[in-house]
Structure 1
Amino acid sequence: MKKDEYIGILTSGGDASGMNAAIRAVTRTAIFNGFKVKGIYRGYEGLIAGESRELTTEDVSSIIQRGGTILKTARSEAFTTPEGRREAYDTMRKEKIGALVVIGGDGSLTGARIFAEEYPVTCIGLPGTIDNDLYGTDFTIGYDTALNTIVECVDKIRDTATSHDRIFFVEVMGRDAGFLAQNSAIASGAEAGRGRHYSGRPDGCGSAGDFYRTRIPEDQEQQHRHRDGKPGQ
């Protein structure tokens, strides 16, 4: 990478807590080592359209505690096509961006890998997703915050469940990975938990009724019945 070129940084896909901290770390480390940085807005869409500007250390101050991403984010259909990636490469050359740091999930990093295979571009991927479904890291950026948020919410609704003698079914995100479901169930002290990667069923947990009938013992079922004899919802 030439000294007059920039390191480009973008966030792509769903936003995750910690993305701003990653933007700050990349920007300040690069500047400390003598490189210039450009922030690319709205992910790969912004890369294609040339929506970027130079970042300074002042631009990334006081963002470490903020959620979301100051660079905005988006999903790009155009970048999934060879023509779109060609436009992105042409824009990088025009903007003098010699390397690209991509903060995102599985789809975003897959796009970066394909891009680097097709063109002489140095791409570095930072795993930013609450799903925790990327190989090579114990915890992805955003996963820990999402897990703690789930536990905090469950702690609050447990009061209502106890007051009304009801069972609450809590659905969480995670796409095809069950890390959030499994670990939030453990951390919050749930009676039971089901998730795609450990339920033993290819279609996930099935219906709420199936779950209730197969996992809730008879004595607990009696405790959670309404006056009309129906299980709590």
Structure 2
Amino acid sequence: MNATPTITLCLLTFNELEGCRHDLPHLPLDHFDAVYALDGGSRDGTDTFLREQGITVHTQQKAGYNAAYLEAFAHCQTDVLVLFHPKGCIDPQSVLNFKPLFQAGNDLVIASRLGPGAHNEEDEQLLKPRKWFVQGISILAALLWRRDRGPHLWDVLHGMRGMRVAAFHAIAPRDHGLSIDLEMVVRSYRLKLKRAAFPVHERTRLAGQTHFKALPTGWKLLKYMASELCRPKTEPR
């Protein structure tokens, strides 16, 4: 394992022009060994804007959230891939927190909107359905599969995260569905991979709506967890 791993930053985009315009000038791109975007077929000019800013853009070939991650990792030529969703709701400078945690030997690092020092966009609301669901599903995942002394990862659904490429392939992720964020956590528990999280402050997205509706997404994630109970453990490579 490299003491100083090489790291790629990947921007995952789909109709996020306003977010890209806001975030890109503040992203410390020169702190990464490589940078590219994976675009899911934007119709608002997101891909054109990124190319105009000198960012290499790969167009997603297979639809789906899991498929996006697999394609993003397939393009990676470094030790680690960090995923960032430019929606204007997380401080772009937060990506600087990944490098020291991977230098410390972690396999999976998540930018957490939950826990000490973190802020979720629902924190000022009386009712917090999204936050409570994420907390609940994180507890269930830990109860079912966490068998080591590594940290309990609370924000199991935040897409701002990084993972060693070898570890990502070791978890043998599905190429379909939208379970990938949760799957990376569950499989890291099962394989006892080294993991960490750091707090971030989440604001309301600048424009557009979430691509994941709460009820259907929640149901699909629960179905994934049920299927994971029958899934064989994959050994680290």
Larger Rg: 1
**Bigger relative contact order, structure 1 or 2, given CA contacts below 8 A and separation 6+?**
2
| TM-score, structure 1 normalization | 0.30
